[in-house]
Structure 1
């Protein structure tokens, strides 16, 4: 069996563009789908996928690790988020091909299932960017949260950490704690609440914010500071009692090394569309298992990414919970054909070979590429200085 080519398909889902890749083979009707969606870098990822095509054409798609090594090592230059997203998409498609060729679901090739269903959580407001990132008042916060719970979820994520300078006064800390307290009161003690700091704060402020909400028992606090400095993340972890998570902006197994060596967090969050794909994520999870860390993969992306995450979760013992954004656009499931189902905040075990999902290319082409909202241009301090969003 040989790879004969790859095709990219970009689908605009309002908040972001989905980047799908189709890896084709010389076996009639046998191909695989992957996803490398990377916000605000859509055209760059498509270009990287085109650059990788001549490296894999003529190769046997079943030799997944071999092809990963070829793309990663023979590229010479270290891969950044763009290159790794392209590699991830291709790698996922290779697993899809192998599962179809062997007539088994992909999770069976990853060691078999270790659980019978996969717990999910979602964001407030679905695909509404302002709802997700700019809900800073109590009433809409509670309204959005109850809407999530009414869909059957027992866990949700909020992103109402104030946009912060290096040091802030007590006003923002008190407002943040007030909102979280009202949210906990509204949803009760049995709903798990994750707080995404989105790298908006420094260690000094993250410690104050987290300590101010400790009594309300967040499930974890995500990316409390920008991810580049592991010592800064470790500082927050050491000075707070709430579980700390990071990892969505770390790519490749090598970027996780320092996190593990320093026991910097309690939960890691690799994105299977950016970290190198399924097998790379399994390696990262195996390293995390040694350090007693849970794995809660990042994934606010498209339906192929959902399928990939499902197979990972089913086969990974230290998996914790899976992010989704299943209500971002009303036509989300029109562009794919799948038997993958979710109910009451859980995904069921798929039975179809491969990833269990196919792109309806005709439907997908009804939503061509559009420039995403450049959200970061709007986040400025009162003196017009740029802040992390």
Structure 2
């Protein structure tokens, strides 16, 4: 069996363009789907997939590690977020092809499932664009949280922290504390709450002030309390607070995660399988984390193929904890797929798919109804009161 072509199908989902990758083979009707979505870098990722195509044409798609090494090793330059997202999308499709060729779901190829379902969490109102509520209105925010939980979720991730800098003003700390307590009181102790700082604090001290305000509600974790990449600062912060920390959506290589593990800098890591080299990279990262007693909570606010990849990974990964999803991002999220769709959530969990491969197919006719368009970029609003650009 040989790879004959690599194609991209771009679908505009308002705040991001989903980049679906279709790898074709010389076997009639046998192809695979992957996803290489990277916010606001659509043109660059699609062009990089074209640049990588010569490295994979003519190769056996079932030799997945070998094909990945062709893309990474022959590229010479470190690939970074754009390059590794392109690699990841192609890599996903290889697993899909192999599973289809053998007639088994991908989680069987990963050693078999170690659990019977996958716990998931969502965002406010399932991340539906245009349905968010400002944190300034505590009652309305709590109403939206309750509405989300009543959709069947047992866990939710929220943004409590404002755009900030090197200091955390006392009025802001007080408001975050009030908001967090109100949310916990509204949903009770049976719902896991996570909060994403998005790396907004520019200092360990500012991050610590907000974490201390949130800690009494016992969040499962605080995500990206500071910008990623400074393992020493993250480890220092972890020693100063009484709340589990998480990071990893903007880290890409096993080496980066090994640094976190060696310093015990966080309790949970969050690799994104659409950016870290796919299942090949994700499995290596998970093993590093397991050796350091760290749980794994994969990042994934993207499209349905990325969700399917995460589902198979989670089923076969012993130190998996909980999976991010954003299936409410656009009202037609489900429609972009054919009848094969493994991401139906019931009672806060995804079930076990048994279809060959990833168990998901993109309806290309439906996809064509949502062609590439310049995304709406919410990060452009991240401005501090004095006019300085903040971390979104």
Whether the 8 Å contact between 1:120 and 1:347 is mirrored in structure 2 is: yes
Q: What is the 5 A alignment of 1:81-120?
A: 81-120=81-120
- Tell me the CA shift for residue 206 of structure 1: 1.1
Whether the 8 Å contact between 1:128 and 1:328 is mirrored in structure 2 is: yes
Whether the 8 Å contact between 1:123 and 1:132 is mirrored in structure 2 is: no
Q: Give yes or no for the alignment of 1:342 onto 2:345.
A: yes
Q: Give yes or no for the alignment of 1:364 onto 2:384.
A: no
Q: Distance in 2 between matches of 1:159 and 1:254?
A: 29
Q: Distance in 2 between matches of 1:168 and 1:308?
A: 38
TM-score under structure 2 normalisation?
0.97
Q: What is the 5 A alignment of 1:256-271?
A: 256-271=257-272
Whether the 8 Å contact between 1:227 and 1:246 is mirrored in structure 2 is: yes
Query: Once structures 1 and 2 are overlaid, which stretch shifts more, 89-98 or 11-20?
Result: 11-20
Q: Give yes or no for the alignment of 1:331 onto 2:332.
A: yes
TM-score under structure 1 normalisation?
0.98
CA RMSD in angstroms comes to: 1.2
Whether the 8 Å contact between 2:168 and 2:209 is mirrored in structure 1 is: no
- Tell me the CA shift for residue 132 of structure 1: 5.3
Whether the 8 Å contact between 1:3 and 1:26 is mirrored in structure 2 is: yes
Q: Distance in 1 between matches of 2:127 and 2:361?
A: 22
245 and 304 in structure 1: CA distance in 2 versus 1, 3 angstrom threshold: same
Query: Matched residue of 1:251: which SS?
Result: coil
Query: Matched residue of 2:54: which SS?
Result: helix
Q: Distance in 2 between matches of 1:47 and 1:339?
A: 28
Aligned to 1:355: 358
Aligned to 1:312: 313
Whether the 8 Å contact between 1:116 and 1:348 is mirrored in structure 2 is: yes
- Tell me the CA shift for residue 126 of structure 1: 3.0
324 and 110 in structure 1: CA distance in 2 versus 1, 3 angstrom threshold: same
Correspondence for 1:383 among 379, 382, 386: 386
Q: Which runs of 5+ in 1 are unaligned?
A: none
Query: Matched residue of 2:361: which SS?
Result: strand
Aligned to 1:77: 77
318 and 300 in structure 1: CA distance in 2 versus 1, 3 angstrom threshold: same
Query: Matched residue of 2:328: which SS?
Result: coil
Whether the 8 Å contact between 2:15 and 2:378 is mirrored in structure 1 is: no
Whether the 8 Å contact between 2:92 and 2:309 is mirrored in structure 1 is: yes
Deviations 1:287-314 (A, max 9, x none): 1000000000000000000100000000
Q: Which runs of 5+ in 2 are unaligned?
A: none
Q: Distance in 2 between matches of 1:283 and 1:184?
A: 36
Q: Distance in 1 between matches of 2:140 and 2:387?
A: 27
339 and 367 in structure 1: CA distance in 2 versus 1, 3 angstrom threshold: closer
Q: Give yes or no for the alignment of 1:248 onto 2:279.
A: no
Query: Matched residue of 2:9: which SS?
Result: strand
Q: Distance in 1 between matches of 2:325 and 2:133?
A: 16
Aligned to 1:41: 41
Q: Distance in 2 between matches of 1:47 and 1:35?
A: 14
